[in-house]
Structure 1
Amino acid sequence: MPKISKRVVDAAAPTDRRFYVWDDQIKGFGLLVLPTGVKSYIFQYRTPEARERRATIGKHGSLTAEEARDKADEMRGAVKAGRDPLDEKQQRRKAATVNDVLDIYLESEAFKAKAVGTRATDKGRINRHLKPLLGKLHVDALRPGDLSKAYASIRDGKTAIREKMGKRGLARVRGGEGAARKSLRLLRSTFAWAVTEKLIGSNPAKDFKTSVDGVREVILDDAAAYGRLFKTLDVMDAEKRVRQPVADAIRVIALTGARRGEVAGLKWTHVNLKTGMLTLPPASHKTGGKTGKPRIIGLPTAAQALIARQPAGDPDDFVFSPAKGEGPVVLSKIWNKVRVEAKLPDRIGLHGLRHSLASHMAMAGAQASEIMTALGHRDLATSQKYVHWAEDARQAIAEKGASVALAGLASSKGEPKADVVPLKGGAL
């Protein structure tokens, strides 16, 4: 028996019957030659129960003789360890893929219990980022390198697409650092849920680290910016370029710091204008699924007036009525037009109005616990970031204010006059 090599494989000419060429170094490693000329590498062995089994390693052409030899050697090691390589291969085919777990999750009660806006966002991350990159991989074979590669692909925009949604809709999937971070967090939490449901044995993303969310730098940094926003909404509303319910919903977000989904999905049953409070049940806000608690939003007088002028409806009707259909009002489409016309920062989104309110609360001296209550954060650490940001911002403002005095101090001592360099405006 020869050592199976490329020369031996090439020389094995087909006959009218199948035949085998066995390797003289690895017992059970062989080459199967069919009358059709197809040549396949195989490994024959006995299980711990003394059953004789024959596993196909792969066809010649898709594998070289040396690659097949390495795989046969791995199988031989598995057999010596008391395992059955063929049975393991068959079990692998039956094992849950990432797609399997994600599909089951999307139909689960845990997913359905999330707020409407959160479900839409999570579904987008699953279908547009996670499934294309990781869906076909088996969960129990997922490695840290697979997760890191997926993270980098989302971050670098490799999953970015423009997807048509219905007759007029268009979804722009851009990717980026934030999308990558949140997509992998979603995958990690989904696997954790799958473990509790006994769909998988362990969470392969449990120890995968993502960067930490920070306070977004792009905010409305002064009263003038808010003035431009509200004036633009007034003009567009008066000229019928935006529906009043849409304009009012944006106004309420700016005044309360509520999340876009919380305002868009607001129903009359959540509203109590006598107390000036909104009470969102756990299923209607982002952190409700984890805390099991309702979210209470206090309404300033101006926000109360905006809600009060909406046409009254049944308890389950939306406060800000959609143009058509049964879903909540759509705010994102008009926002970019409002932002451009109001000359607001390029990268500020509707969520930036929420960050703006929290940032200005911190600058005004609000404590983390007060910001936590106002914005409905799940933990104090999230709110504390705004306090730290405000402290840094105050230091920068103090330095800016003192620069003129410092220049005078230097000149009084006969030192060369220092140039006063203004700091850049915008968020600190």
Structure 2
Amino acid sequence: MGEVVKLKTGKPEKQTYRLNKSFVDKAEKLPKDRDFTAYFDDLIPGFHLRVLTSCKTFSYWYRSPIDRRARVMKLGRHGDITATEARKKAEKARGAVLDGRDPQEQKDRAKMRSKTFADIADQWLEEYAEPSRKTWKEDKRRLSSPYLKRLQKFQFHEHNREKLQDLLALAHKSASESTPVEANRIVELVNQMLNTACRYRWISSVYRNIAADIQKNTEKGREDYLRATEFAKFADVVGTLPRKHRCSIWFLVLTGCRSKSEALALLKADVHLEAGVFKFRDTKNATDHELPISTGIKTIFEMMPEHRGDTVFMGKELRRPFETIREAGFIDHMTPHALRHTLRSHARSTLNINLEAVDSITNHKSNYGAGARYVHTDPERVLEALEKYQAWVFDKAGIVDFGAYLKTGKR
């Protein structure tokens, strides 16, 4: 804080100065001041020069006539504008305050009006999503969706809220014709992004909860899982897929892991067959997760086709293989998550495997109360649970030689 003035009140402690070119050129930061020294003008109350170690800036201090809060409006950096130009800006800002208007709010609105939907999306991804959201790449893909093409050049004027709502509703309707669930996700993401933009004052708060009136598509819950009687048919359908997909899908069956962030991200360097362990890096729980290698998992690693990539399994997604499985007449919402739910359901209800062991296998955070930090499952118990579940699955699927099945697709 400057020693020359009390910036909170704008009242000088010692004296004010005529902020002209001669004075501004000579003004220096006082040694006792921590951040900057503020020199206030003797003609326009609130108009002052801030002298930092690296630069000098012209600013205008005032109390907002709207909420009476003290605010500082930056007028420009010395060198970019002259003292005379800064004085004219200060006079204009003071005139707005005397007329009952907040000059900084007007300046913010001008910036908001110049921003487009594409600008806000880029800013949100760079400053918010990428540093704090593991799903930022998926967010980026959705915000670049062809369904949002009409929104990209939208200008954020306050009176255009209804227009933006109409455009978003139209995008949701178009996406719903082919991908109803994805349509919901796109709208939810846009709503979340704009709420964040409102909170950080990138855009006007009138755009908050922009998707509140959009009727979402009905979604079937992700509570479906493979019944014991369905494993044989499931094995036959997966057997028709290429071997690389047979291996990756059965890896999901036997581990209950997450598909994209764990299975498809598993590195060859993190599989240690001799030590009998493998490790998922940087999982959803923000930790690495190590599991013992059961006989079935070892067979999968050995039968997976060779390829040049760093990951064990090939491909970035399993959308098409699961479409084939669904087309074969399985549950409508058969997804990688359904296989995760399959393991957790049968391991607990059918095989009565200890909950802590099941959570350790699936890297699932459960709330064990105050003693949660002391729950550590023995790797041998985890391996025993994996082998028990694996044997049960192979029995229900009618698979006698798992290696031969992965190689030929025949049970």
Normalising by structure 2, we get a TM-score of 0.50
Normalising by structure 1, we get a TM-score of 0.48
